[in-house]
Structure 1
Amino acid sequence: MEFITARYEHVDRMCEITGMAKRQLKDLGLDQWQKGYPSRDVWLDDIRIGCTFLAVEGEEILGIFAFQKDPDPSYAVIDGSWLTDGPYASMHRVCVSDECKGKGVAGKMFAHGFRLAREAGLSSVRIDTHPGNIPMQRALEKAGFVKCGSIVLAEGCEAGDDRIAFERMI
Structure 2
Amino acid sequence: MNRIIREAKPAEIPEIMQVMVAAKGIMRQSGNRHQWGDGYPSETIILSDMARRGAFVVEDGGRVVGYFAFLPSPDPTYLNIYEGKWVDDSRPYHVVHRIASLPDVHGIFASVMEFCLSHDRNIRVDTHRDNQIMQHNLLKHGFVYCGIIYLLSGDERLAYQLVLPEAI
TM-score norm. by structure 2 comes to: 0.89
Which secondary structure does the structure 2 equivalent of 1:99 belong to? coil
Deviant stretches of 4+, over 6 Å: none
- In structure 1, C-alpha distance between the alignment counterparts of 2:25 and 2:110, rounded to whole Å: 21
Conserved in 2, the CA contact under 8 Å of 1:26 and 1:34?
no
Deviations 1:108-155 (A, max 9, x none): 11111111214xxxxx1000000111011001111111111111112x
Alignment of 1:84-103 (within 5 A): 84-85=88-89, 86-100=91-105, 103=106
- In structure 2, C-alpha distance between the alignment counterparts of 1:25 and 1:104, rounded to whole Å: 16
| 1:81 aligned onto 2:85 | yes
Deviations 1:36-58 (A, max 9, x none): 21101111222233211111123
Give 2:117's aligned residue: 114
Give 2:134's aligned residue: 136
Aligned residues: CA RMSD: 1.3
Greater helix share, structure number: 1
Alignment of 1:53-92 (within 5 A): 53-79=56-82, 80-85=84-89, 86-92=91-97
Q: What amino acid does structure 1 have at the position aligned with 2:138? A: L
Structure 1 residues without counterparts, runs of 5 or longer? 119-123
TM-score norm. by structure 1 comes to: 0.88
Give 1:14's aligned residue: 16
Conserved in 1, the CA contact under 8 Å of 2:146 and 2:160?
yes
Number of positions where the alignment pairs a residue of Structure 1 with one of Structure 2: 159
- In structure 2, C-alpha distance between the alignment counterparts of 1:46 and 1:76, rounded to whole Å: 20
Could you tell me how far 1:25 is from its partner in structure 2? Answer: 2.4
Q: What amino acid does structure 2 have at the position aligned with 1:90? A: V
Conserved in 2, the CA contact under 8 Å of 1:63 and 1:106?
no
Could you tell me how far 1:62 is from its partner in structure 2? Answer: 1.7
